[in-house]
Chain A
Amino acid sequence: MAEEDVLLVERALEGDAGAIERLVRAHLGAAYAVALGVTGDPDDAQDVVQDAFANVLGRLAECRNPATFSGWLIQIVRNTARNRVRYRRVRAAAPLDEAHGARTGDDPSKDAEREELRRRLIDALPELSQVQREVLLLHDLEGWKHREIAESLEIPDGTVRYHLFQARRRMRKILGMLVGDD
């Protein structure tokens, strides 16, 4: 991934639109997972990743080591998401259910059962700590390895495993047998 990032960053700096798009597609999932982990809100997470990508791609020339692009991006996503949370607290935004419910009505193909599970997962996420959410989403949603998460969060590998264990246990307790026991 790092080698491919180097190539894509170099080509993106030359103005290659295809390279920019591939860079976005390669990292959007992880960026979204981190943003969702910090904000706990899918709509906020979507806004955060768009702002963070705009920031990163606008300052791509400052990325001295393109091999570390992923870490740089994730750090900016995390900071953008934290700012978003602070701003939301000040603004006292509408409750999550209202914002989310308004959006889901636009998708005619949604499966009701999946949507219900999605809503329950989103409702349960705030019960975890921020680091637990990030670890859980990066590992169980994005498929990151413990080592990769440890590097991104700058915490020991064992701590990642501990947070993952605690997060899964807590989520199972909240959600009952709805998830992961098939």
Chain B
Amino acid sequence: MIDELHPKPLDLSPLDPRLDRARWEGMVARIVRRAQAPRTPMAALVLWRRPALAAAALVAALSAGVMWWDGQSSAAANPANTVVEALEVPQPVSDWIMEGRPPHGTDVLVALDELP
């Protein structure tokens, strides 16, 4: 009855990865090496096993880098001290923003009159 309910274990030893000593030790070594490797963003990408995702991530990382570089270059060429300057808000409007008040009708007329 016990044998019927609990048949003897199967000999699954051929599936034991430890049998191939070199392969087993290689697996241990690779895991330990990866665990000790410094985690730079590029190293993390290299470790990814899905080429398409890794490639997409690489493109995204490069794009972000280019955008950052471009932004830095633009900033250096045309430095803006404030958000208003950076967004090139027209002078009268920026004054209203800085003063924190809504424009009166006369302000609008004056601003229109000052337009080139």
Contacts and interface: CB of A to CB of B under 8 A. Distances in A.
A165 B31 contact: no
B27 to A, nearest CB: 6
B49 A51 contact: yes
Interface of A: 17, 20-21, 24-25, 28-29, 32, 36, 42, 46-47, 49-51, 53-54, 57-58, 87, 107, 110, 114-115, 117-118, 121-122, 136-137, 139-141, 161, 165, 168-169, 171-172, 179-182
A51 B30 CA distance: 10
Contacts of A118: 14-15
B47 A54 contact: yes
Contacts of A179: 10-12
Contact of B7 (A20, A21, A47, A172): A172
Interface of B is mostly: helix
B17 interface: yes
Interface of A is mostly: helix
B46 to A, nearest CB: 12
17 contacts: A17-B32, A24-B35, A28-B24, A29-B16, A29-B17, A42-B15, A50-B27, A51-B49, A54-B34, A114-B14, A114-B19, A140-B10, A140-B11, A141-B12, A168-B9, A172-B10, A180-B10
Contacts of A21: 28, 32
B34 A168 contact: no
Given A47-B49, A141-B15, A20 B35 contact: yes
A121 B35 CA distance: 32
Contacts of B16: 29, 141
A58 B16 CA distance: 27
Given A46-B27, A47-B49, A54-B34, A180 B17 contact: no
B28 A29 contact: no
Contacts of B12: 121, 136-137, 140-141, 179
Given A24-B28, A165-B7, A50 B14 contact: no
